[in-house]
Chain A
């Protein structure tokens, strides 16, 4: 199985900060990776697909980069509505595997 290691597991940041979340795959997955945002009590919402493509309707302050084994989600200027937990998910092989999540909270 492909292991997805996400870091950090949590971070505290202020509105306006630039935030970077990393996800490392235990073997190469090409660009078969998505990023998801989940707020408390809500279903996950896809932000990025194909490692770098922004989901329609998602603000442009979100961006994804990387391929192979190293991936990054960047929020260029954190907004109040961005405080949430973020997950990466590889869909290169079965079983599908998620990163353990990164909780972004208010500093």
Chain B
């Protein structure tokens, strides 16, 4: 059974930093591209970033240059380093698996999410 468990959310000040983690199990982690998707309170879903199995990275314009996606295949863990967060980055952040290695596929399984609140 595929399981994705996010952690690392919490309260962060504008301009600070935060690192989110997503621990994966139930599949061969290194064989799949992985994603972050967020949902602001009461709003819809917004794609944030994708990391392909080969290392290719993609970012939404809203986070480019501030957020960095990475992975540690030895620990089956995906990360999102959030630098210089802004109030409009406040959201639940979901980790989601892609159904192929390269990142060209669809999102199939999602974690339960971790809440990030950016406020002073």
Contacts and interface: CB of A to CB of B under 8 A. Distances in A.
Q: Do A and B bind each other?
A: yes
B26 interface: no
A95 B61 contact: yes
A89 B44 contact: no
Main secondary structure of the interface of A (DSSP, over half): loop
B101 interface: no
Nearest to A48: B106
Given A94-B58, A95-B58, A95-B61, A46 B108 contact: yes
A44 B46 contact: no
A74 B99 CA distance: 23
B87 interface: no
A88 B49 CA distance: 17
A54 B109 CA distance: 14
Given A43-B94, A45-B110, A91 B105 contact: yes
